[in-house]
Protein backbone atom coordinates (compact mmCIF):
# COMPACT_ATOMS: atom_id res chain seq x y z
CA UNK A 1 0.00 0.00 0.00
CA UNK A 2 1.26 3.47 -0.90
CA UNK A 3 0.02 6.88 0.17
CA UNK A 4 -0.10 9.83 -2.21
CA UNK A 5 -1.17 13.44 -2.02
CA UNK A 6 -2.96 15.18 -4.87
CA UNK A 7 -2.89 18.99 -5.09
CA UNK A 8 -5.34 20.72 -7.40
CA UNK A 9 -5.60 24.43 -8.10
CA UNK A 10 -8.17 25.14 -10.80
CA UNK A 11 -9.02 27.98 -13.12
CA UNK A 12 -11.55 29.33 -10.63
CA UNK A 13 -8.59 30.48 -8.48
CA UNK A 14 -10.64 30.01 -5.33
CA UNK A 15 -8.14 27.85 -3.47
CA UNK A 16 -6.12 24.64 -3.27
CA UNK A 17 -7.62 21.19 -2.80
CA UNK A 18 -5.37 18.56 -1.22
CA UNK A 19 -6.41 14.91 -1.11
CA UNK A 20 -4.70 12.08 0.77
CA UNK A 21 -5.12 8.88 -1.22
CA UNK A 22 -4.33 5.25 -0.56
CA UNK A 23 -3.22 3.31 -3.62
CA UNK A 24 -2.73 -0.45 -3.52
CA UNK A 25 -1.53 -2.10 -6.71
CA UNK A 26 -4.01 -1.73 -9.55
CA UNK A 27 -6.96 -1.19 -7.25
CA UNK A 28 -8.83 2.07 -7.33
CA UNK A 29 -7.49 4.75 -4.99
CA UNK A 30 -9.27 5.40 -1.72
CA UNK A 31 -9.71 8.87 -0.28
CA UNK A 32 -8.46 8.98 3.31
CA UNK A 33 -8.51 12.70 4.12
CA UNK A 34 -8.80 16.09 2.45
CA UNK A 35 -8.03 19.73 3.10
CA UNK A 36 -9.00 23.01 1.43
CA UNK A 37 -6.95 26.19 1.63
CA UNK A 38 -8.50 29.41 0.28
CA UNK A 39 -6.45 31.33 -2.27
CA UNK A 40 -5.12 34.59 -0.78
CA UNK A 41 -6.67 37.51 -2.62
CA UNK A 42 -3.32 39.04 -3.61
CA UNK A 43 -1.92 35.76 -4.94
CA UNK A 44 -5.13 35.08 -6.85
CA UNK A 45 -4.87 38.49 -8.49
CA UNK A 46 -1.24 37.85 -9.41
CA UNK A 47 -2.08 34.48 -10.99
CA UNK A 48 -5.05 35.91 -12.86
CA UNK A 49 -2.87 38.70 -14.26
CA UNK A 50 -0.44 36.10 -15.62
CA UNK A 51 -3.21 34.66 -17.80
CA UNK A 52 -2.66 37.64 -20.12
CA UNK A 53 0.41 39.37 -21.52
CA UNK A 54 1.90 42.13 -19.40
CA UNK A 55 5.15 43.75 -18.26
CA UNK A 56 7.90 41.80 -16.47
CA UNK A 57 6.06 38.48 -16.85
CA UNK A 58 9.07 36.25 -16.18
CA UNK A 59 9.80 37.77 -12.77
CA UNK A 60 6.11 38.00 -11.83
CA UNK A 61 5.61 34.37 -12.79
CA UNK A 62 8.61 33.24 -10.74
CA UNK A 63 7.42 35.13 -7.66
CA UNK A 64 3.83 33.91 -8.03
CA UNK A 65 4.80 30.26 -8.35
CA UNK A 66 7.12 30.60 -5.36
CA UNK A 67 4.15 31.88 -3.32
CA UNK A 68 1.93 29.13 -4.75
CA UNK A 69 4.41 26.42 -3.69
CA UNK A 70 4.62 27.88 -0.18
CA UNK A 71 0.81 27.88 0.06
CA UNK A 72 0.65 24.27 -1.16
CA UNK A 73 3.34 23.21 1.34
CA UNK A 74 1.37 24.81 4.18
CA UNK A 75 -1.81 23.04 3.07
CA UNK A 76 0.00 19.70 2.87
CA UNK A 77 1.50 20.17 6.33
CA UNK A 78 -1.96 20.93 7.74
CA UNK A 79 -3.43 17.81 6.12
CA UNK A 80 -0.62 15.58 7.38
CA UNK A 81 -1.08 16.94 10.90
CA UNK A 82 -4.81 16.35 10.62
CA UNK A 83 -4.19 12.75 9.49
CA UNK A 84 -1.44 12.12 12.07
CA UNK A 85 1.10 11.24 9.39
CA UNK A 86 4.74 12.17 8.81
CA UNK A 87 6.05 13.22 5.41
CA UNK A 88 8.07 9.99 5.25
CA UNK A 89 4.82 8.00 4.89
CA UNK A 90 3.93 9.71 1.60
CA UNK A 91 5.36 8.24 -1.59
CA UNK A 92 4.70 11.30 -3.75
CA UNK A 93 2.72 14.47 -4.27
CA UNK A 94 0.88 14.83 -7.58
CA UNK A 95 0.80 18.58 -8.19
CA UNK A 96 -1.30 20.03 -10.97
CA UNK A 97 0.09 23.51 -10.43
CA UNK A 98 -1.76 26.60 -11.59
CA UNK A 99 -2.61 26.98 -15.26
CA UNK A 100 -1.75 30.48 -16.46
CA UNK A 101 -1.75 29.84 -20.22
CA UNK A 102 -3.32 27.06 -22.26
CA UNK A 103 -2.88 27.34 -26.01
CA UNK A 104 -2.32 23.83 -27.39
CA UNK A 105 -3.14 25.05 -30.93
CA UNK A 106 0.11 27.00 -30.62
CA UNK A 107 1.90 24.02 -29.10
CA UNK A 108 2.07 25.00 -25.44
CA UNK A 109 0.37 24.90 -22.07
CA UNK A 110 1.82 26.45 -18.90
CA UNK A 111 1.20 25.35 -15.32
CA UNK A 112 3.33 27.04 -12.67
CA UNK A 113 3.91 25.82 -9.13
CA UNK A 114 7.67 25.43 -8.58
CA UNK A 115 7.66 21.67 -7.92
CA UNK A 116 11.35 21.76 -6.96
CA UNK A 117 10.57 24.18 -4.14
CA UNK A 118 7.52 22.15 -3.13
CA UNK A 119 9.71 19.04 -2.81
CA UNK A 120 12.22 21.04 -0.77
CA UNK A 121 9.59 22.48 1.57
CA UNK A 122 7.74 19.22 2.18
CA UNK A 123 10.53 16.65 2.00
CA UNK A 124 8.29 14.60 -0.31
CA UNK A 125 8.85 13.55 -3.92
CA UNK A 126 6.77 15.70 -6.27
CA UNK A 127 5.38 14.68 -9.65
CA UNK A 128 4.23 17.67 -11.71
CA UNK A 129 3.99 19.08 -15.26
CA UNK A 130 1.48 16.45 -16.38
CA UNK A 131 0.09 18.24 -19.43
CA UNK A 132 3.10 19.16 -21.55
CA UNK A 133 4.04 15.61 -22.61
CA UNK A 134 0.59 15.13 -24.10
CA UNK A 135 0.88 18.48 -25.92
CA UNK A 136 4.34 17.49 -27.16
CA UNK A 137 2.71 14.39 -28.66
CA UNK A 138 0.25 16.54 -30.57
CA UNK A 139 -2.53 16.50 -27.97
CA UNK A 140 -4.56 19.16 -26.22
CA UNK A 141 -3.03 18.36 -22.82
CA UNK A 142 -6.56 18.49 -21.40
CA UNK A 143 -8.76 17.19 -20.07
CA UNK A 144 -6.55 14.65 -18.29
CA UNK A 145 -9.06 13.23 -15.83
CA UNK A 146 -11.11 11.00 -18.22
CA UNK A 147 -8.74 8.05 -17.69
CA UNK A 148 -9.30 8.42 -13.96
CA UNK A 149 -13.05 8.79 -14.45
CA UNK A 150 -13.07 5.61 -16.50
CA UNK A 151 -11.21 3.73 -13.78
CA UNK A 152 -13.63 4.99 -11.12
CA UNK A 153 -16.96 4.95 -12.91
CA UNK A 154 -16.72 2.70 -15.96
CA UNK A 155 -19.76 0.42 -16.15
CA UNK A 156 -21.92 -1.70 -18.40
CA UNK A 157 -24.31 1.15 -19.15
CA UNK A 158 -23.63 4.45 -20.91
CA UNK A 159 -22.89 7.28 -18.53
CA UNK A 160 -21.06 10.58 -18.49
CA UNK A 161 -18.93 12.27 -15.86
CA UNK A 162 -19.04 16.05 -15.76
CA UNK A 163 -16.46 18.19 -14.03
CA UNK A 164 -17.49 21.82 -13.56
CA UNK A 165 -14.70 24.06 -12.34
CA UNK A 166 -13.77 27.30 -14.05
CA UNK A 167 -14.48 25.38 -17.25
CA UNK A 168 -16.60 22.30 -17.79
CA UNK A 169 -15.46 19.01 -19.27
CA UNK A 170 -17.23 15.77 -20.06
CA UNK A 171 -16.03 12.18 -19.93
CA UNK A 172 -18.15 9.80 -22.02
CA UNK A 173 -18.21 6.15 -20.95
CA UNK A 174 -20.00 3.57 -23.08
CA UNK A 175 -19.72 -0.25 -23.05
CA UNK A 176 -17.13 -1.65 -25.44
CA UNK A 177 -16.07 1.81 -26.62
CA UNK A 178 -12.92 3.79 -25.87
CA UNK A 179 -13.33 6.58 -23.36
CA UNK A 180 -14.03 9.96 -24.92
CA UNK A 181 -13.97 13.44 -23.44
CA UNK A 182 -13.50 17.14 -24.11
CA UNK A 183 -14.04 20.61 -22.69
CA UNK A 184 -17.59 21.86 -23.17
CA UNK A 185 -16.90 25.55 -22.53
CA UNK A 186 -17.23 27.93 -19.57
CA UNK A 187 -18.17 26.39 -16.26
CA UNK A 188 -17.96 28.88 -13.41
CA UNK A 189 -15.42 31.25 -14.95
CA UNK A 190 -17.86 33.78 -16.43
CA UNK A 191 -20.36 33.42 -13.59
CA UNK A 192 -17.62 34.20 -11.07
CA UNK A 193 -16.18 37.08 -13.11
CA UNK A 194 -19.56 38.76 -13.55
CA UNK A 195 -20.65 38.53 -9.91
CA UNK A 196 -17.23 39.76 -8.78
CA UNK A 197 -17.48 42.77 -11.07
CA UNK A 198 -21.11 43.59 -10.26
CA UNK A 199 -21.42 42.67 -6.58
CA UNK A 200 -17.91 42.14 -5.24
CA UNK A 201 -18.66 38.49 -4.41
CA UNK A 202 -16.32 35.64 -5.35
CA UNK A 203 -19.06 33.26 -6.52
CA UNK A 204 -22.83 32.88 -6.79
CA UNK A 205 -23.83 30.73 -3.80
CA UNK A 206 -26.22 27.98 -4.99
CA UNK A 207 -26.81 30.00 -8.17
CA UNK A 208 -29.19 32.19 -6.15
CA UNK A 209 -28.41 35.42 -7.99
CA UNK A 210 -28.75 33.70 -11.37
CA UNK A 211 -32.06 32.26 -10.22
CA UNK A 212 -33.30 35.78 -9.40
CA UNK A 213 -32.91 36.87 -13.04
CA UNK A 214 -34.31 35.77 -16.38
CA UNK A 215 -32.17 34.35 -19.18
CA UNK A 216 -32.00 36.61 -22.23
CA UNK A 217 -32.54 34.28 -25.18
CA UNK A 218 -30.99 36.47 -27.93
CA UNK A 219 -27.86 36.95 -25.81
CA UNK A 220 -27.70 33.22 -25.06
CA UNK A 221 -27.95 32.28 -28.74
CA UNK A 222 -25.31 34.86 -29.63
CA UNK A 223 -22.94 33.35 -27.05
CA UNK A 224 -23.63 29.81 -28.25
CA UNK A 225 -22.74 30.93 -31.78
CA UNK A 226 -19.08 31.17 -30.70
CA UNK A 227 -17.05 28.90 -32.98
CA UNK A 228 -15.70 26.88 -30.03
CA UNK A 229 -19.07 25.23 -29.46
CA UNK A 230 -19.15 23.95 -33.05
CA UNK A 231 -15.73 22.27 -32.86
CA UNK A 232 -15.82 18.49 -32.54
CA UNK A 233 -13.45 17.03 -29.97
CA UNK A 234 -10.67 16.66 -29.10
CA UNK A 235 -10.87 20.22 -27.82
CA UNK A 236 -9.98 22.21 -24.73
CA UNK A 237 -10.24 25.83 -23.75
CA UNK A 238 -9.33 28.34 -21.06
CA UNK A 239 -9.27 31.97 -20.00
CA UNK A 240 -7.48 32.86 -23.22
CA UNK A 241 -10.84 32.51 -25.00
CA UNK A 242 -13.62 32.87 -22.43
CA UNK A 243 -13.03 35.79 -20.09
CA UNK A 244 -14.60 39.04 -18.91
CA UNK A 245 -13.48 40.84 -22.09
CA UNK A 246 -15.29 38.19 -24.17
CA UNK A 247 -18.43 38.72 -22.10
CA UNK A 248 -18.23 42.49 -22.39
CA UNK A 249 -17.93 42.19 -26.18
CA UNK A 250 -21.08 40.04 -26.20
CA UNK A 251 -22.93 42.61 -24.07
CA UNK A 252 -21.90 45.53 -26.30
CA UNK A 253 -24.12 44.09 -29.01
CA UNK A 254 -27.25 44.40 -26.81
CA UNK A 255 -29.14 47.17 -25.06
CA UNK A 256 -28.26 47.49 -21.35
CA UNK A 257 -29.51 44.46 -19.40
CA UNK A 258 -30.23 43.92 -15.70
CA UNK A 259 -27.13 42.41 -14.11
CA UNK A 260 -29.10 39.47 -12.66
CA UNK A 261 -30.43 38.65 -16.15
CA UNK A 262 -26.86 38.50 -17.45
CA UNK A 263 -25.98 36.11 -14.62
CA UNK A 264 -29.02 33.97 -15.45
CA UNK A 265 -27.95 33.89 -19.09
CA UNK A 266 -24.41 32.86 -18.18
CA UNK A 267 -25.70 29.99 -16.07
CA UNK A 268 -27.89 28.96 -19.01
CA UNK A 269 -24.82 29.10 -21.27
CA UNK A 270 -23.01 26.65 -19.00
CA UNK A 271 -26.01 24.32 -18.75
CA UNK A 272 -26.88 24.46 -22.46
CA UNK A 273 -23.33 23.89 -23.70
CA UNK A 274 -23.04 20.82 -21.46
CA UNK A 275 -26.47 19.39 -22.30
CA UNK A 276 -26.04 19.91 -26.04
CA UNK A 277 -22.58 18.33 -26.01
CA UNK A 278 -23.87 15.28 -24.13
CA UNK A 279 -26.94 14.86 -26.33
CA UNK A 280 -24.83 15.13 -29.48
CA UNK A 281 -21.99 12.84 -28.41
CA UNK A 282 -23.66 10.27 -26.15
CA UNK A 283 -27.44 10.50 -26.61
CA UNK A 284 -27.92 7.11 -24.92
CA UNK A 285 -26.39 8.29 -21.62
CA UNK A 286 -28.52 7.12 -18.72
CA UNK A 287 -26.64 8.98 -16.02
CA UNK A 288 -24.64 12.19 -15.62
CA UNK A 289 -22.44 12.29 -12.52
CA UNK A 290 -21.23 15.77 -11.64
CA UNK A 291 -18.11 16.75 -9.70
CA UNK A 292 -16.21 19.97 -9.09
CA UNK A 293 -17.50 23.21 -7.62
CA UNK A 294 -20.41 23.31 -10.07
CA UNK A 295 -21.93 20.29 -8.34
CA UNK A 296 -22.66 22.63 -5.41
CA UNK A 297 -24.54 25.11 -7.63
CA UNK A 298 -28.12 24.09 -6.94
CA UNK A 299 -29.56 26.13 -9.81
CA UNK A 300 -27.08 24.71 -12.32
CA UNK A 301 -27.85 21.15 -11.25
CA UNK A 302 -31.56 21.91 -11.60
CA UNK A 303 -31.14 23.28 -15.12
CA UNK A 304 -29.04 20.29 -16.18
CA UNK A 305 -31.73 17.92 -14.93
CA UNK A 306 -34.43 19.91 -16.77
CA UNK A 307 -32.47 19.92 -20.03
CA UNK A 308 -31.64 16.20 -19.78
CA UNK A 309 -35.00 14.66 -18.82
CA UNK A 310 -34.03 11.16 -19.94
CA UNK A 311 -30.74 11.16 -18.04
CA UNK A 312 -30.36 10.95 -14.27
CA UNK A 313 -28.30 13.92 -13.06
CA UNK A 314 -26.59 13.55 -9.68
CA UNK A 315 -23.45 14.55 -7.82
CA UNK A 316 -20.67 11.96 -7.52
CA UNK A 317 -21.47 12.17 -3.78
CA UNK A 318 -24.30 9.76 -4.58
CA UNK A 319 -21.68 7.16 -5.56
CA UNK A 320 -19.65 7.66 -2.41
CA UNK A 321 -17.02 9.90 -4.02
CA UNK A 322 -17.10 13.51 -2.78
CA UNK A 323 -17.56 15.88 -5.71
CA UNK A 324 -15.11 18.41 -4.26
CA UNK A 325 -12.16 16.03 -4.22
CA UNK A 326 -12.31 14.04 -7.48
CA UNK A 327 -9.75 16.19 -9.32
CA UNK A 328 -7.26 16.28 -6.46
CA UNK A 329 -7.60 12.49 -6.22
CA UNK A 330 -6.97 12.27 -9.95
CA UNK A 331 -3.59 14.01 -9.68
CA UNK A 332 -2.57 11.73 -6.81
CA UNK A 333 -3.42 8.82 -9.13
CA UNK A 334 -1.50 10.41 -12.00
CA UNK A 335 1.57 10.66 -9.74
CA UNK A 336 1.23 6.93 -9.03
CA UNK A 337 0.96 6.18 -12.76
CA UNK A 338 4.09 8.22 -13.50
CA UNK A 339 6.19 6.51 -10.86
CA UNK A 340 4.97 3.08 -11.99
CA UNK A 341 5.58 3.83 -15.68
CA UNK A 342 1.90 3.60 -16.60
CA UNK A 343 0.69 5.71 -19.56
CA UNK A 344 -2.20 7.82 -18.28
CA UNK A 345 -3.40 10.01 -21.12
CA UNK A 346 -6.29 9.08 -23.44
CA UNK A 347 -5.37 9.81 -27.08
CA UNK A 348 -9.06 9.57 -28.02
CA UNK A 349 -9.69 12.46 -25.63
CA UNK A 350 -6.70 14.74 -26.18
CA UNK A 351 -5.78 13.89 -29.75
CA UNK A 352 -2.21 12.87 -28.85
CA UNK A 353 -0.38 10.51 -31.19
CA UNK A 354 -0.46 7.73 -28.62
CA UNK A 355 -0.34 6.75 -24.96
CA UNK A 356 2.26 8.59 -22.92
CA UNK A 357 3.63 8.53 -19.39
CA UNK A 358 2.75 11.92 -17.96
CA UNK A 359 4.63 13.99 -15.43
CA UNK A 360 8.12 15.10 -14.39
CA UNK A 361 9.65 13.78 -11.15
CA UNK A 362 11.27 15.98 -8.52
CA UNK A 363 12.77 13.67 -5.85
CA UNK A 364 12.62 14.72 -2.21
pLDDT for 330-339, tens place per residue?
999 999 999 9
What is the sign, positive or negative, of the torsion defined by CA atoms of 83, 87, 92, 95?
positive
- The confidence band for 24, taking pLDDT boundaries of 50, 70 and 90, is confident
The whole-angstrom separation of Cα 344 and Cα 349 is 11
CB 80 within 8 A of CB 88: no
- The confidence band for 25, taking pLDDT boundaries of 50, 70 and 90, is confident
What is the per-residue pLDDT for 27? 76
What is the per-residue pLDDT for 12? 83
The mean pLDDT of 81-108, rounded to a whole number, is 96
pLDDT tens digits, residue range 146-197?
A: 999 998 888 789 999 999 999 999 999 999 889 999 999 999 999 999 999 9
Please calculate the CA angle 304-308-311 and round it to the nearest 5 degrees.
110
Cβ neighbours for 226, distance < 8 A, ≥ 6 positions apart: 185
Would the pTM count as exceeding 0.95?
no
What is the per-residue pLDDT for 118? 98
- The confidence band for 46, taking pLDDT boundaries of 50, 70 and 90, is very high
- The confidence band for 355, taking pLDDT boundaries of 50, 70 and 90, is very high
Cα distances (angstroms) measured from residue 78 to each of 20, 35, 72, 149: 12, 8, 10, 28
Which of these, 69, 65, 68, lies nearest to 118 by C-alpha position? Answer: 69
CB 325 within 8 A of CB 351: no
Cα distances (angstroms) measured from residue 244 to each of 42, 227, 250, 273: 19, 18, 10, 18
What is the per-residue pLDDT for 61? 97
- The confidence band for 232, taking pLDDT boundaries of 50, 70 and 90, is confident
Q: What is the average pLDDT value for the chain, to the nearest integer?
A: 95
- The confidence band for 1, taking pLDDT boundaries of 50, 70 and 90, is confident
Name the burial class of residue 261, with classes exposed (0-12), middle (13-18) and buried (19+) by CB atoms within 10 angstroms of its CB: middle
Amino acid sequence: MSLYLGVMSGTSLDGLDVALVEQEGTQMPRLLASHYTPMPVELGAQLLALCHSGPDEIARSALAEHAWAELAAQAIDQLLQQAGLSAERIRAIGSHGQTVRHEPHRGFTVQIGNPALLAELTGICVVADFRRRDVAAGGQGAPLVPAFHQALFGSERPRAILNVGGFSNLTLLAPEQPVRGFDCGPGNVLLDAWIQQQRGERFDQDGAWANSGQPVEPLLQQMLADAFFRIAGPKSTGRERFNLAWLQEQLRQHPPLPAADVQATLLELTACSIAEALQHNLPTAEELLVCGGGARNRRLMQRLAEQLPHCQVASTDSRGLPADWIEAMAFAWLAHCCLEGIPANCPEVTGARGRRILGAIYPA
